[in-house]
Amino acid sequence: MSKAAIILAAGLGTRMRSRLPKAMHPIAARPMLQHILAAASEVFDRAVVVVGPDMPELESAAAPHPVVVQAERLGTGHAALQASPLFEDFDGDVAVLYADNPLITPDTLRRLAAARERAGLALVAMRPADPGHYGRVLTNSAGEVERVVEWADASPEERAVGLCNAGVICAPATELFGWLRAVRNDNAKGEYYLPDVVGLARQAGRRVVAVEAPEAELRGINSRVELAAAEATAQARLRERAMVGGATLIQPESVVLAFDTQLGQDVTIGPNVVFGPGVVVEDGVEIRAFSHLEGCVVRAGAVIGPFARLRPGTVIERQAHVGNFVELKATVLGEGAKANHLSYLGDAAIGAGANIGAGTITCNYDGVNKHRTEIGAGAFIGSDTALVAPVRVGARALVAAGSVVTEDVPDDAMAIARGRQANKPGRGFRGKGVKG
């Protein structure tokens, strides 16, 4: 049977105090909306995203999934109903998910879909440590859901129930949209609430069952404080996945990973290392403390850091070394090459076995355009060298320390490009307190 998901993402997130739509706030370097879409894609055949008016960022983030606009924010039931025109000829199951609930796992969604096949409607529930004002899920002696009661409407006995509604539901498309059309708004806020379909399903004689999942998966995000808690949960998952996969994190709680960080086996990560999106690290790499990597590839056996920065477009080849306070951008550092100290290498190709001395910089930007620097295999660049791109230093060439290189250096040549030293006798420094 075909399965589809509706993602509700129209919330403004007033408590976020942000111009950014709530569902665009990132967790592990990816917007919340894209987290839930990624999880849904592993279970459902298609997804539709419901956004509010004037949310172009969300519409872009939702691509290539279709988007519908909830012109008036009249509640979650009303929001889900806006997607109904896209399901006119759909006879499968539809789940309703929330963009501000981004940590729900594909496993929970699979269990939800499987439970729906055994009942008319399935929902996801949790047992939070502090049930607070969550709606309560009331079940009968057979364990089936009788109804969901909002906290404000619950009796003291009902508030004592620990099973709480997470809001996620799944039902056959035709029945779901029929129930949504029947939802009333005779409540304090005058809104159409999605959980009301549970009572309508029961009135129609349909079995309703609950699938339980951990609170950490289902906690909604409505504030920066809750966003930070979700980030902590996501980071804990990513660190565990990295270590189970064969990486050593010396101080795991200090390492920040992105949703797509790929770490090979026998990788060692030092304290306070940060990974932005798009990083691939192959086997046997060591990344030392306080390094920052984003959009780069580090090949097997390389050593990075401490205090190194690898920016997008950088490739560190096998057994290469990048040392402290070295920054690379859109640069290939060849196999076995070394840049061990205090250098900036941008828009460059550095050959195998080359040595980059301390203080070397590639002058790659002329104020309008970026230009390339090429350094051949086995070349030696002396300390405090400025390479003014576009320029090529040949294989096995030697550039003397302190040079400003503006012309190509042939293979096997030595280049010296600095002002001639002149010594002036008797002109030494005579500061305050210096005799003679």
DSSP string, 37-99: HHHHHTT-SEEEEEE-SS-HHHHHHHTTS-EEE-SS---HHHHHHTTGGGGTT--SEEEEEET
Over residues 224-252, mean pLDDT = 97
Q: Cα–Cα distance between 426 and 120 in angstroms, integer? A: 99
Region 376-386 average pLDDT: 98
- pLDDT, one tens digit per residue, over 317-366 is 999 999 999 999 999 999 999 999 999 999 999 999 999 999 999 999 99
Mean pLDDT of 377-389: 98
pLDDT at position 12 is: 85
Higher pLDDT, 143 or 248: 248
Under 8 Å CB-to-CB from 173, ≥6 apart: which residues?
Answer: 4, 87, 90, 91, 92, 93, 94
Phi and psi at residue 317, to the nearest 5°: -80, 175
Radius of gyration, CA atoms only, the chain: 30
pLDDT at 434 exceeding the cut of 70? no
- pLDDT class of 154 with cuts at 50, 70, 90: confident
Each residue's pLDDT tens digit, 125-147:
999 999 888 899 999 988 999 98
Assess whether pLDDT exceeds 80 at residue 91: yes
52-87 pLDDT, tens digit per residue, is 999 999 999 999 999 999 999 999 999 999 999 999
pLDDT of 295 over the 60 cut: yes
Residue 428 has a pLDDT of 86
| Band of pLDDT at residue 189, cut at 50, 70 and 90 | confident
Q: What pLDDT does 433 receive?
A: 63
Q: What is the pLDDT of residues 105-116, one digit of tens each?
A: 999 999 999 999
Q: Which residues pair with 304 in a beta bridge?
A: 287, 322
Distances (CA, A) of 316 to 202, 211, 290, 297, 402: 60, 46, 18, 6, 26
**Mean pLDDT, residues 257-269:** 98
Residues 210 and 125: beta-carbon distance below 8 Å: yes
Residue 436 confidence (pLDDT) above 60: no
pLDDT tens readout for residues 386-427: 999 999 999 999 999 999 999 999 999 999 999 888 999 988
Task: Quote the pLDDT of residue 199.
Answer: 92
Amino acid letter, residue 4: A
Sign of the CA dihedral running 108, 109, 110, 111: positive
pLDDT of residue 345: 98
Contacts of 393 (CB under 8 A, 6+ apart): 373, 374, 375, 376, 379, 381, 387, 399, 405, 408, 409, 415
pLDDT at position 188 over 80: no
Predicted pLDDT of residue 264 = 98
pLDDT confidence of residue 150: 84
Which residue, among 206, 188, 98, 192, has the nearest Cα to 151 in the 3D structure?
188
Q: What is the pLDDT of residues 8-55, one digit of tens each?
A: 999 888 899 999 999 999 999 999 999 999 999 999 999 999 999 999
Mean pLDDT across 141-168: 91
Active site residue 341: yes
Query: Does 187 have pLDDT greater than 80?
Result: no
State residue 435's pLDDT score: 61
Average pLDDT on 230-241 reads 97
Residue 67: what pLDDT? 97
The SS3 assignment for 241 reads helix
Q: What is the per-residue pLDDT for 223? A: 94
Mean pLDDT score, 195-223: 94
Q: Which residues pair with 310 in a beta bridge?
A: 293, 328
Tens-digit pLDDT profile for residues 92-103:
999 999 999 999
Choose, from 65, 292, 341, 371, the residue flagged as catalytic. Answer: 341
Q: Is the peptide bond before 214 cis (omega within 30 degrees of 0)?
A: no
CA angle 373, 379, 380 (to 5 degrees): 100
Strands 30-31 and 26-27, sheet pairing: antiparallel
